A and B are shown apart, each in its own frame.
Chain A
Amino acid sequence: MSKFIFTIFRFLIFSLIVYIPLVIIWAEFDRNSFIKKNIQYELTISKPIDSTGKINSYGHMFSRIKELKTFRNIDLLFIGASQAYRGLDTRIFRSAGYNSFNLGSSNQTPLQSEVLLNRYLKELNPKEIIYVVHPEVFSVDGVESTLDIIANDRIDLKIIKLTLSQKNLKLINTLIYASYRDLFNLNKNLNEPVVKRKDTYIKGGYVEKELSYYGYRHFEKSTWEFNRTQFKAFERSLKIISENNIKLILVQAPTPKSFYSSQTNNVDFDNLMKDYGEYYNFNTILNLDDSLHFYDQYHLNQLGVTIFDEKLIEMLD
Chain B
Amino acid sequence: MIFNSITFAAFFGIFFILYWFVAKKNLSFQNLLVLAGSYLFYAWADWRFLAFLIGVSALNFYLGIHIEKTNNPKYKKLLLYIGLVQGVGGLAFFKYFNFFITSFNDVFQSLNFNINLHILNIIIPLGISFFTFKTISYILDVDKGKIEATKDWVVFFNYVSFFPTILSGPIDSGRMFIPQLQKKRVFDYRQATNGLRQILWGLFKKMVIADNLATITNPIFENHLQLPSSSLLLGAFFYTIQIYADFSGYSDMAIGLGRLIGFNVTPNFNFPLFAQNIAEFWRKWHISLTSWLTEYVFTPLSISFRDLGKAGLILAIVINFTICGIWHGANWTYVLFGFLHGCLFIPLILKGTMNKKKKTTKNKLLPTFKEFLNIAGTFIQVMFLFVIFRAETISNAFHYYLGIFSRSSFPVTEFETKTRTGENFVFIILLLFLLVIEWRGRENQYAIENLGQKYPRIVRFVFYALIIFLIGMYAPTNETPFIYLKF
Q: Please give, as numbers and ranges, the residues of chain A lying within 8 Å of B20 by CB-CB distance.
A: 1
- Assess whether B464 is in contact with A169, with CB atoms less than 8 Å apart: no
Bitwise, B456-486 to A at CB < 8 A (1) or not (0) is 0000011011101100111101000000000
Q: Name the distance in Å between B471's Cβ and chain A's nearest Cβ.
A: 8
- Assess whether B465 is in contact with A14, with CB atoms less than 8 Å apart: yes
Partner of B473, one of A3, A7, A18, A23: A23
Q: Is A83 an interface residue (CB 8 A)?
A: no
Known: A35-B426, A38-B472, A169-B472. A4 touches B193 (CB 8 A): yes
Q: Name the distance in Å between A61's Cβ and chain B's nearest Cβ.
A: 20
- Assess whether A15 is in contact with B187, with CB atoms less than 8 Å apart: no
Q: Which residue of A lies closest to B17 (CB)?
A: A5
A-B contact count (CB 8 A): 63
How many angstroms between the C-alpha atoms of A14 and B20 in the bound complex? 25
Q: Which residue of A lies closest to B466 (CB)?
A: A18
Q: Is A54 an interface residue (CB 8 A)?
A: no
Within 8 A of A (CB), among B180-196: 187, 189, 192-193, 196
Q: Is B309 an interface residue (CB 8 A)?
A: no
How many angstroms between the C-alpha atoms of A37 and B215 in the bound complex? 13
How many angstroms between the C-alpha atoms of A34 and B477 in the bound complex? 15
Within 8 A of B (CB), among A156-178: 167-170, 172-173
Interface of B (DSSP majority class): helix
Interface size range of chain A in the complex: 20 to 34
Q: Is B422 an interface residue (CB 8 A)?
A: yes
- Assess whether B468 is in contact with A19, with CB atoms less than 8 Å apart: yes
Q: Please give, as numbers and ranges, the residues of chain B lying within 8 Å of A39 by CB-CB distance.
A: 473
Partner of B464, one of A3, A15, A26, A34: A15
Q: Name the distance in Å between A179's Cβ and chain B's nearest Cβ.
A: 15
- Assess whether B474 is in contact with A38, with CB atoms less than 8 Å apart: yes
- Assess whether B475 is in contact with A169, with CB atoms less than 8 Å apart: yes
Q: Please give, as numbers and ranges, the residues of chain A lying within 8 Å of B366 by CB-CB distance.
A: none
How many angstroms between the C-alpha atoms of A22 and B193 in the bound complex? 25
Q: Is A134 an interface residue (CB 8 A)?
A: no
How many angstroms between the C-alpha atoms of A228 and B187 in the bound complex? 42
Q: Is A36 an interface residue (CB 8 A)?
A: yes
Bitwise, B288-317 to A at CB < 8 A (1) or not (0) is 000000000000000000000000000000
- Assess whether A15 is in contact with B465, with CB atoms less than 8 Å apart: yes
Bitwise, B404-430 to A at CB < 8 A (1) or not (0) is 000000000000000000111110000
Known: A4-B187, A4-B189, A4-B193. A143 touches B473 (CB 8 A): no
How many angstroms between the C-alpha atoms of A19 and B424 in the bound complex? 23
Q: Is B6 an interface residue (CB 8 A)?
A: yes
Q: Which residue of B lies closest to A37 (CB)?
A: B474
Q: Is A11 an interface residue (CB 8 A)?
A: yes
Report which residue of B187, B426, B465, B472 has the largest number of chain A beta carbons within 10 angstroms of its beta carbon.
Answer: B472
Q: Is A33 an interface residue (CB 8 A)?
A: yes
Bitwise, A15-54 to B at CB < 8 A (1) or not (0) is 1001100110010000001111111000000000000000
Q: Please give, as numbers and ranges, the residues of chain A lying within 8 Å of B469 by CB-CB distance.
A: 18-19, 22-23
How many angstroms between the C-alpha atoms of A298 and B384 in the bound complex? 45
Q: Please give, as numbers and ranges, the residues of chain A lying within 8 Å of B474 by CB-CB distance.
A: 37-38
Q: Which residue of A lies closest to B476 (CB)?
A: A169
Q: How many residues of B contact A (CB 8 A)?
A: 24
Q: Please give, as numbers and ranges, the residues of chain A lying within 8 Å of B189 by CB-CB distance.
A: 1, 3-4
Bitwise, A260-294 to B at CB < 8 A (1) or not (0) is 00000000000000000000000000000000000
Within 8 A of B (CB), among A124-183: 143, 167-170, 172-173
Q: Please give, as numbers and ranges, the residues of chain B lying within 8 Å of A168 by CB-CB distance.
A: 477
How many angstroms between the C-alpha atoms of A172 and B473 in the bound complex? 10
Q: Which residue of B lies closest to A7 (CB)?
A: B193
Q: Name the distance in Å between B116's Cβ and chain A's nearest Cβ.
A: 28
- Assess whether A37 is in contact with B426, with CB atoms less than 8 Å apart: yes
Q: Name the distance in Å between A286's Cβ and chain B's nearest Cβ.
A: 37
How many angstroms between the C-alpha atoms of A241 and B196 in the bound complex? 49
- Assess whether A1 is in contact with B473, with CB atoms less than 8 Å apart: no
Q: Name the distance in Å between A114's Cβ and chain B's nearest Cβ.
A: 22
- Assess whether A38 is in contact with B475, with CB atoms less than 8 Å apart: yes
- Assess whether B426 is in contact with A34, with CB atoms less than 8 Å apart: yes
- Assess whether A34 is in contact with B423, with CB atoms less than 8 Å apart: yes
Q: Please give, as numbers and ranges, the residues of chain A lying within 8 Å of B425 by CB-CB distance.
A: 34
Q: Name the distance in Å between B96's Cβ and chain A's nearest Cβ.
A: 32
How many angstroms between the C-alpha atoms of A29 and B477 in the bound complex? 22
Q: Name the distance in Å between A11's Cβ and chain B's nearest Cβ.
A: 6
Bitwise, B1-20 to A at CB < 8 A (1) or not (0) is 00000100000000000001
Q: Name the distance in Å between B207's Cβ and chain A's nearest Cβ.
A: 9
Q: Please give, as numbers and ranges, the residues of chain B lying within 8 Å of A19 by CB-CB distance.
A: 465, 468-469, 472
Known: A33-B422, A35-B426, A37-B426. A173 touches B187 (CB 8 A): no
How many angstroms between the C-alpha atoms of A7 and B464 in the bound complex? 13
How many angstroms between the C-alpha atoms of A22 and B426 in the bound complex? 16
- Assess whether A11 is in contact with B473, with CB atoms less than 8 Å apart: no
Q: Which residue of B lies closest to A36 (CB)?
A: B473
- Assess whether B6 is in contact with A38, with CB atoms less than 8 Å apart: no
Q: Name the distance in Å between A148's Cβ and chain B's nearest Cβ.
A: 15
Q: Please give, as numbers and ranges, the residues of chain B lying within 8 Å of A167 by CB-CB distance.
A: 6
Q: Name the distance in Å between A255's Cβ and chain B's nearest Cβ.
A: 26
How many angstroms between the C-alpha atoms of A269 and B469 in the bound complex? 42
Q: Please give, as numbers and ranges, the residues of chain A lying within 8 Å of B461 by CB-CB distance.
A: 11, 14-15
Q: Name the distance in Å between A253's Cβ and chain B's nearest Cβ.
A: 28
Q: Which residue of A lies closest to B473 (CB)?
A: A38
A-B contact pairs, 22 of them (CB 8 A): A1-B20, A4-B187, A4-B189, A8-B196, A11-B465, A14-B461, A15-B468, A18-B462, A18-B465, A19-B465, A22-B466, A22-B469, A23-B473, A34-B425, A37-B426, A37-B473, A38-B473, A39-B473, A167-B6, A169-B475, A169-B477, A170-B477
4 closest A-B pairs by beta carbon, nearest first, are: A18-B465, A15-B465, A34-B423, A170-B477
**In the complex, given contacts A7-B193, A15-B461, A34-B426, what are 6 additional A-B residue pairs having Cβ atoms less than 8 angstroms apart?**
A1-B187, A15-B464, A19-B465, A22-B466, A23-B473, A38-B473
